[in-house]
Amino acid sequence: MPLVTRKSVADKLGAYLRHELSLAALVEWAESALMNNDFDPSHLTTIRDAVARIGAADVRTFGLAWEDCEQLLSQLGYSAQVNIIAR
């Protein structure tokens, strides 16, 4: 698994929010990243905490709501935007 960076975590959250990645796949990725423990050392604590939170998202009491994603993205130095488009 490649080095986990703030951008790679933000990309995974973005894919989840766009329904390109299921919650189960996102959690699996996070759990794998935690086991490999290969995080960008310049932002180690922030990345590890965000990935740990994502890894617990499959537990009913934790979940992963829009607000959770916004908060995680903010901690990583990103923000989410929503575009409404006609089908």
Instruction: Express each pLDDT in 6-20 by its tens digit.
Output: 999 999 999 999 999
* pTM score: 0.91
The candidate with the shortest Cα–Cα distance to 22, out of 70, 67, 73, 58, is 58
Q: Write the pLDDT tens digit of every residue in 9-61.
A: 999 999 999 999 999 999 999 999 999 999 999 999 999 999 999 999 988 88
Q: Which of 87, 20, 29, 85 is nearest to 58 (CA)?
A: 29
Q: Which two tokens stand for residue 24?
A: 């189960």
